[in-house]
Amino acid sequence: MSVELTIPHLEKLGKAGTDFLGVRYPLISGGMTWISDSSLVKAVHDCGGFGVLAAGNMPPELLAEEIDRCNAIGGSYAVNLITIAPNYAAHRKIVVEKDVPCVIFAGNFPKRQAVEEVKAAGSKTVSFASTISIAEQQIRFGVDALILEGSEAGGHIGHVSLTILLQQVLFHNPSVPVFVAGGIATGKMIAHLLLMGAAGCQMGTRFVMSEECLAHANFKERFVAARARDAVSTPAFDRVRLPVVAVRALHNKGMQEFGTLQMGLLQQLDDGSLTREEAQMKVEEYWMGALRNAVVAGDIDNGSLMAGQSVGLMDRVQPMAEIFEDLLTEAEQELSRVRELL
């Protein structure tokens, strides 16, 4: 369902983002493993937003099929590649072979060769950045845009909040569009982030709460009941021997079991029965499996309930078109209010 609104202030402030993304509204649906499939890309696209297909650790042949489905939808979208995923090399080969409008590198910062390879295939490239020096490095590597994702976000996260990233990177005016993410769930917040210079906003948890999202009903119901403080980040017991990327999710048995897993892996590292690379791979395999258990099978006790702290700002599941209308209308109203104040 198309969302048609009169939003002159939002259109003006979001023009850099919409021009880059090739969509009507500067709103991105984050790449969430087992959640951001071609059906969610279509739902977001139909409302005028920018959908992202999450490669996660999909079997390569399934990713190829999902890309074909997204291409059949028409319009602009991105494939999110996890650089630390076991299938990353195979996934990158597929996006190079397919006609993918945009590629978002996540998980870690991509190497120059990967950026150049994807750009040579005709795709725009986007990377995350946590400091101005990393932003400048990624721009030198050739990325076309950046995303600043604060630690308030769900799933794999960095250690810095969005309010700090805005000051560390956005306020330095990098030479490429800068999109922002982490803890965003309202139109009022979108308005103020655009006023700060953001090209657009990425949301994940907000779009999980859409009727069109295929996540299990149990998963969504747990989100409805959750408070912001329920979405916690995982601990790291030894950042030297077993450096793991923190994950933010709702606290449950699955979160506790991850602590037990880490302790077991550290013991195996001590006795030499496991290499650090193998241990890190087991960590990623755990999260991939635990997330699938929650999203697909509905196991909200033992599965991983990856969610951003914005989960505390939502209390119901809505049609995607209604979500877009709420966000855009509120953003335009806030921009009109700010104009009157000035």
Instruction: Tell me the C-alpha distance between 73 and 52, whole Å.
Output: 13
Residue-level pLDDT at 244: 82
Average pLDDT of the residues of the chain = 95
Q: Is the pLDDT of residue 2 over 80?
A: no
Torsion of the alpha carbons at 33, 79, 228 and 236, rounded to the nearest 10: 60
Q: Which helix (H) or strand (E) holds 92?
A: helix 88-97
User: CA 266, CA 36: separation in Å to the nearest integer?
Assistant: 33
Mean pLDDT along residues 194-215: 97
Question: Average pLDDT in the 54-80 region?
Answer: 96
Give pLDDT, residue 224.
97
Tell me the whole-structure pTM to 2 decimals: 0.95
Position 130 pLDDT exceeds 90: no
Residue 288 clears pLDDT 90, i.e. is over it: no
Distance of alpha carbon 118 from alpha carbon 116, whole angstroms: 6
Please report the pLDDT score of residue 249 as a whole number: 95
Q: In the predicted model, is pLDDT for residue 210 greater than 70?
A: yes
Per residue in 245-279, pLDDT tens?
888 999 999 999 988 998 999 999 999 999 988 88
Domain assignments of the chain as residue spans, ordered by start: 8-215+313-341, 217-295
Mean pLDDT of 77-91: 94
Burial class (CB in 10 A: 0-12, 13-18, 19+), 5: middle
Per-residue model confidence (pLDDT) at position 175 = 95
Poorest-pLDDT segment among 45-49, 76-80, 154-158: 154-158
- Provide the phi-psi class of 28: left if phi over 0, else alpha when psi is between -120 and 50, else beta: beta
Residue 1 has pLDDT above 70, yes or no: no
For the cut 70, the answer to whether the pLDDT of residue 133 exceeds it is yes
Q: Which of these, 148, 194, 188, 114, lies nearest to 30 by C-alpha position? A: 148
Average pLDDT (19-30) is 98
Residues in the chain: 342
Residue 88 in this model has a pLDDT that exceeds 70: yes
Return the percentage of the chain with pLDDT > 90, whole number.
Answer: 83
User: CA angle at residue 232 from 231 to 234, to 5 degrees?
Assistant: 140
Q: Which fold, 8-215+313-341?
A: TIM Barrel (3.20.20)
pLDDT score, position 14: 97
pLDDT at 246: 86
* pLDDT the model gives residue 287: 83
